[in-house]
Structure 1
Amino acid sequence: MSDGQGAKTSRLPPRWFIRLAWSVHRSLYRVSGGRVGLWRPRTTGWGTLRLTTTGRRTGQQRSVILGYLEDGPNLFSLAMNGWGEGEPAWWLNLRAHPDASVDLVGGRRLVRGRAATGDERLRLWARWREVETNLDVHAARRPSETAVVVLEPRPGGSSPMQ
């Protein structure tokens, strides 16, 4: 559900376009060998990372590129599935197998994922709202609350890019 504002509306591109844009983004990342497609967050916008999880059914490694922001040593993202219904597969995988890795501009990190709750969720949601002004409007399109996913460093935290 929404986390605040009421009846405002904001236009989103069609879902097929959002999926196509992220597909092209992943392809650019893959074709460039990881040299194109990731960037650090800026004061006016989120960054992108490549999250690799373990598939909840297959046990195989699954990767996705996500928008993220930083919160001290933690990274966080929104499990929004293009603002469509249902939970994104990467979030379902992370809930089943919380240990994962992220590729960032500066290298790879080992992380453990979890959902933010309570005051932490409210604080992180407000931080995301600073860079995405229509956040509450978009979130209201979903039939359930959008999870704020925290990626905490794990022991052995960094490893060289592969």
Structure 2
Amino acid sequence: MPQPVHPFAAPAPRIHGFNRPVVEEFRANEGRVGGPFEGGDLLLLTTVGAKTGLEQTSPLAYIRDGARLLVVGSAGGSPAHPAWYRNILAHPMVRVEVGTETYAAVAIPTEGDERRQLFERIVQTAPGFADYQAKVARALPVVALERSRG
């Protein structure tokens, strides 16, 4: 007879190789990192894979919008959406790490006028996103992370 799986026995979330040192530094230094992210607002977003069903953690820049956090699916100006964005479309419940705080959230892609207004605001704070947008034909997604109440 198979043994029940302990809820904490699940494998650790996957972290792509180039993100691993950033995630490790983030967790070791209460959310602070150096290098190209030094001084910026950075969070860790853990999603459930759209195809694999496995958890994956990605470091992302964010800005605050009231109680919610906004992230952009830039993928560094890639022509395709990042994996984390495809994951949230399939599984919008996510885990967010900011500083030393970890909480469940729902990831909500913004659309239309709201997306345009939020993207303009983001670009005022982080102009590099305008450069990424200029590289691609797709509209870079703006996703609101809202803390889960349940």
Bin for the TM-score computed over the shorter chain: 0.7 to 0.9
More strand by share: 1
Shift of 1:37: 7.5
RMSD value, Cα: 2.5
In structure 2, the gaps of 5 or more residues are 1-16, 33-38
Instruction: Return the alpha-carbon distance in structure 1 between the equivalents of residues 100 and 79 of structure 2.
Output: 33
Instruction: Return the alpha-carbon distance in structure 2 between the equivalents of residues 134 and 101 of structure 1.
Output: 25
Change in Cα spacing, 1:125 to 1:46, as seen in structure 2 (3 Å) is farther
Of 34, 44, 49, which residue of structure 2 is paired with 1:50?
44
- For 2:145, give the aligned amino acid: L
Could you state the TM-score of these two structures normalised by the residue count of structure 1?
A: 0.71
Count of residues in Structure 1 that have an aligned counterpart in Structure 2: 130
Of 70, 84, 91, which residue of structure 2 is paired with 1:90?
84
Superposition pairs for residues 3-82 of structure 1, below 5 Å?
Answer: 23=18, 26-30=20-24, 32=25, 34-36=27-29, 38-39=31-32, 46-82=40-76
Could you state the TM-score of these two structures normalised by the residue count of structure 2?
A: 0.76
Other-structure match for 2:148? 154
- Contact 1:53 / 1:90 at 8 angstroms: preserved in 2? yes
Which of 1 and 2 has higher RCO (CA within 8 Å, sep 6+)? 1
Instruction: Return the alpha-carbon distance in structure 1 between the equivalents of residues 131 and 101 of structure 2.
Output: 34
- Contact 1:121 / 1:148 at 8 angstroms: preserved in 2? yes
DSSP 3-state at the match of 1:93 = helix
